[in-house]
Structure 1
Amino acid sequence: MHSNLIFLWGTPRSMSTAFLRMMLERGDHEVFHEPFSSIVVQGRTAVGDYTATSHDELLKLLEERAGDHPVFVKETTEYDYLTTGGDRIPEVGRHTFIIRDPRRVIPSHYAMNPDMACGEIGYGHQVEMARRVRETTGVRPYVVEAEELLTDAPGAVERYCRHLGIPFLESSLSWQPGDQQVWSRTSQWHRDAAGSSHFIRAERTYESTVDNNRFLYDCYWHHRPDYHVLRKWARSHAVSAA
């Protein structure tokens, strides 16, 4: 079913904010940055002139916004929204997912938040959301691999747009660096996106990795099966498009 409301679900540190920056550059979608997690953290989130204080209220406001123009919502999956008032999420709009190798995600997340809990890395919540979407719609949701944005951004974005039935705008693949108001609540997490002008790998080394830190090692093996579930789905889209 066609809908003007598009969701992109990704773990933290999955390049989802860079993807949102590309959607901002398009200029043809109203863009929301992590409104569900804003409700979890702050107890509220702004949608136009209104304020939502629950996931269901947020969904209703997003549906209204998408009634007359396209809306894009990027959200991270460190929290479980489905069992905290968001059980209707899979029924609303069209849901897509972005994944990134947990060997890169986990050290990056830990460097930003050394007090993180293993579950906050987010692959478990992400795959559960994807499974619920599949159960609701009867089809596997579309999955983007972040690594493909680094090796073939035009191809990866074109395939994403084709799947959703929206125009592919090659001009949106580059932009002016700078912070964006839409992500101001969590701007400290988005320095790489703010400093970028296109999809590019941030060449960073981390003191703690999955190879030298037992906590990160255990987290990696905990989340690896869920990552590979969605990676298999991503590869199945690539095969079907070939």
Structure 2
Amino acid sequence: MWSGPRNLSTAMMRAFSSRPDCAVSDEPFYAAYLAATGIVHPMNAEVLASQPTDPHRVAADMLGPAPSGKPVWYQKHMAHHMVVGFPLDWMDGVTNVFLLRRPERVLASYARKREDVSLRDIGFAEQAMLFDRVADRLGKAPPVVDSEDVRRDPRGTLSALCAAIDLPFDEAMLSWPKGQHPDDGVWAPHWYGAIFDSTGFAPPDEKVVELPGNLQRIADEAQVFYERMAGFKT
């Protein structure tokens, strides 16, 4: 599952982790991304210590076997973690799905957790690049899911997603226990507060988002990439 930050990505990971047949992995390229770029994130040292920093090793790991021998493996990936020079050929050995959220809502949420924000931080351009790579290989668009559709109709949207990837839908995906999950990344206490308090998908927030000028400019840049992928929503 390819997304950007603040994209409902952790809630989707919770939904899949609720399936008894599914293992999950939380942003396995995060430490490699920080090591390669020198970017400093909250809990930076802890993230670097918690995962391999060699992207080639991570890529090899992503091809299996799945943790605990589970038949389904949900890998939560951030598109912007795939910096230039990181291997991408491993993507040909997995099923790739793309999770979207409107840029203005991503930025409004992200800016509450980290002051300095750029287009690169929210990953829309990188997500579109990966989308194009998968579409070119398949000869058709890969599955695309919009987080607002998931929140508006969890059962219907997740059922459609499962059908698109030849996976039976499981009602267990609609709820999960409160608190931290054992497979959450070490960074979870900083980023996942709302998820810790949740037991399922919240209804969509219909409130109009108003961004300051600097964030609105980034949202406008990201909108082009969002609209291109959103045209193929499942």
Scaled to the shorter chain, the TM-score interval is: 0.7 to 0.9
For residue 29 of structure 1, what is the aligned residue in structure 2? 22
2:72 paired residue among 70, 73, 76: 70
Distance 2:202 2:20 in 1: 21
Distance 1:21 1:218 in 2: 32
Distance 2:50 2:22 in 1: 19
Distance 1:200 1:223 in 2: 25
Contact 1:55–1:85 at 8 Å: present in 2 too? yes
For residue 220 of structure 1, what is the aligned residue in structure 2? 219
TM-score, normalised via structure 2 length: 0.85
Q: 1:35 to 1:204 in 2, by over 3 A?
A: farther
Measured after TM superposition, the shift of residue 212 of structure 1 is: 4.6
SS of alignment partner, residue 18 of structure 2 = helix
Distance 1:202 1:196 in 2: 14
For residue 60 of structure 2, what is the aligned residue in structure 1? 60
SS of alignment partner, residue 30 of structure 1 = strand
TM-score, normalised via structure 1 length: 0.82
Measured after TM superposition, the shift of residue 40 of structure 1 is: 1.6
Contact 2:80–2:126 at 8 Å: present in 1 too? yes
For residue 196 of structure 2, what is the aligned residue in structure 1? 194
SS of alignment partner, residue 81 of structure 2 = coil
Q: Could you tell me the percent identity over the aligned residues?
A: 22
Q: 1:144 to 1:212 in 2, by over 3 A?
A: closer
The structure whose RCO (Cα within 8 Å, separation 6+) is larger is 2
For residue 3 of structure 1, what is the aligned residue in structure 2? none
Contact 2:152–2:204 at 8 Å: present in 1 too? no
What is the count of residue pairs matched by the alignment? 219
Contact 2:151–2:204 at 8 Å: present in 1 too? no
Contact 2:15–2:172 at 8 Å: present in 1 too? no
Distance 1:212 1:148 in 2: 23
Distance 2:215 2:118 in 1: 10
Matched to 2:5, the amino acid is P
Runs of 5+ in structure 2 lacking a partner? 35-46
More strand as a share of residues: 1
For residue 127 of structure 1, what is the aligned residue in structure 2? 128
For residue 39 of structure 1, what is the aligned residue in structure 2? 32
Q: 1:89 to 1:45 in 2, by over 3 A?
A: farther
Aligned-residue CA RMSD (Å): 2.3
Matched to 1:58, the amino acid is V
Q: Report the more deviating stretch, 61-70 or 144-153.
A: 61-70
For residue 119 of structure 2, what is the aligned residue in structure 1? 118
Distance 1:194 1:145 in 2: 22
SS of alignment partner, residue 80 of structure 2 = coil
Deviations 1:31-84 (A, max 9, x none): 1000012322255765xxxxx442222222222314963211001223334x23
